[in-house]
Amino acid sequence: MSQATGARFEFHNLTKAFGGLVAVNDVTVEAVAGGITGIIGSNGAGKSTVFNLISGFYKPDAGQVLLEGQDLTGRQPHEIAAAGVGRTFQNIRLFQGMSVLDNVRTALHRSLDYNVFHALLRLPKIRSEEKRAEEAALEALELVGMLEAKELTGSSLPYGLQRRLEIARALAMKPKILLLDEPAAGLNPGEVADLVNLIRSINAKLGLTILVIEHHMDLVASLCQKVFAMNFGQVIAGGTLAEVQNDPAVLEAYLGKGASHA
Ligand SMILES: Nc1ncnc2c1ncn2[C@@H]1O[C@H](COP(=O)(O)OP(=O)(O)OP(=O)(O)O)[C@@H](O)[C@H]1O
Ligand SMILES: [Mg+2]
């Protein structure tokens, strides 16, 4: 694949309230360009909301999202995807009745460079765009090791492969950065180990900047060069996983007041 390697990605002072609840409060994160950055934190800390703000599913109340210095703040999801932000979802979003290949092709549909008139007239342009989409889809399936499974239907896949297919969908758009929201959720230990290898190989092959939200600390430990811990909408610590795990604010948040002095 031919995307630029090691894209710089950062967001500053992101804030989002739902009614009286400030779900994301002044969150600033600079991702490791070309590396893997982790976001950890307890349930309801605001992690997925951060991804939804970055990818345009929610509009931030304040703050800025910058990809290679380009301001993406407040744009529509399809514009942000086209600018190079790929993502997966905490709850798998696949078309269960569709084949593996069609699931990936469908993800590309919005980015195809033709309109309804081309489609009606069956102009050569649409055929070449469709061919390009198929090639990109096959390339993405190969990257995640699912080429052999391309004719299977989404619903027939074991959970681990459904997660992998979601990653292929995101990669087919040739993103500059990839957001993975709890990719290991629901996987058995063997599948988690495969996923770690997959994420590492995608990162190495494509030089892709990756942000991953995870509760599995072994995954975070083996993949992430930098980690941010969130609690009640705020980043309370950042650094290596060891630094974050020993940070007094994190110990206090997880173990209760006074734990940092124990
Ligand atoms: N669309 C919404 N409307 C109202 N409240 C929301 C909405 N989305 C998220 N929230 C609230 O914002 C807070 C943060 O939710 P979020 O999903 O970002 O947490 P999370 O860190 O991803 O948690 P988990 O680890 O359980 O996935 C929660 O209190 C949640 O109920
Ligand atoms: Mg979440």
* Per-residue pLDDT tens digits for 10-63: 999 999 999 999 999 999 999 999 999 999 999 999 999 999 999 999 999 999
Structure confidence at residue 155 as a pLDDT band (50, 70, 90): confident
**Whose CA is closest to atom 26 on ligand 1?**
43
Domain boundary among 193, 208, 223: 208
In sign, the C-alpha dihedral spanning 242, 248, 254, 259 is positive
pLDDT value at position 133?
Answer: 87
CB < 8 Å & 24+ apart, contacts of 236-245: 238/29, 241/38, 241/217, 244/40
pLDDT value at position 126?
Answer: 65
pLDDT value at position 4?
Answer: 47
Q: How many whole angstroms from 262 Cα to the centroid of ligand 1?
A: 31
Residue 160 and residue 56 share a domain: no
pLDDT value at position 116?
Answer: 60
Cβ–ligand 1 distance for 233 under 6 Å, the answer no
Domain boundary among 208, 224, 253: 208
Cβ–ligand 1 distance for 18 under 6 Å, the answer yes
At 105-154, the pLDDT tens digits run 988 875 555 556 666 666 666 677 788 889 999 999 999 999 999 999 98
Q: Where in the sequence is the domain holding 60, given as residue range(s)?
A: 44-80
Cβ–ligand 1 distance for 235 under 6 Å, the answer no
| 104 belongs to a structural domain | yes
| 12 belongs to a structural domain | no
Into how many domains does the chain fold? 2
| 35 belongs to a structural domain | no
Q: How high does pLDDT run on average in the chain? A: 90
Residue 64 and residue 128 share a domain: no
Domain boundary among 80, 108, 128: 80
Residue 128 and residue 54 share a domain: no
Of residues 97 and 146, more confidently modeled: 146
Residue 140 and residue 73 share a domain: no
Please identify, by atom number, the ligand 1 atom nearest to the C-alpha of residue 52: 18
Test site for ligand 1: of 21, 49, 51, most ligand atoms within 8 A of the Cβ: 49
Q: How many whole angstroms from 90 Cα to the centroid of ligand 2?
A: 6
| 6 belongs to a structural domain | no
Residue 73 and residue 139 share a domain: no
pLDDT value at position 184?
Answer: 95
Cβ–ligand 1 distance for 231 under 6 Å, the answer no
| 125 belongs to a structural domain | yes
pLDDT value at position 3?
Answer: 45
Cβ–ligand 1 distance for 52 under 6 Å, the answer no
At 188-216, the pLDDT tens digits run 999 999 999 999 999 999 999 999 999 99
Please identify, by atom number, the ligand 1 atom nearest to the C-alpha of residue 50: 18
Residue 162 and residue 96 share a domain: yes
pLDDT value at position 260?
Answer: 47
pLDDT value at position 117?
Answer: 60
Structure confidence at residue 254 as a pLDDT band (50, 70, 90): confident
Q: How many whole angstroms from 212 Cα to the centroid of ligand 2?
A: 11
Residue 107 and residue 63 share a domain: no
Cβ–ligand 1 distance for 106 under 6 Å, the answer no
Residue 147 and residue 55 share a domain: no
| 111 belongs to a structural domain | yes
pTM of the model: 0.91
How much is the average pLDDT of 60-86? 96
Residue 121 and residue 154 share a domain: yes
Residue 126 and residue 70 share a domain: no
Structure confidence at residue 182 as a pLDDT band (50, 70, 90): very high
How much is the average pLDDT of 234-252? 95
Here the CATH number for the domain that contains residue 131 is: 3.40.50.300
**Whose CA is closest to atom 17 on ligand 1?**
48
| 64 belongs to a structural domain | yes
Residue 191 and residue 95 share a domain: yes
Residue 188 and residue 105 share a domain: yes
| 62 belongs to a structural domain | yes
pLDDT value at position 123?
Answer: 64
**Whose CA is closest to atom 6 on ligand 1?**
18
How much is the average pLDDT of 92-111? 84
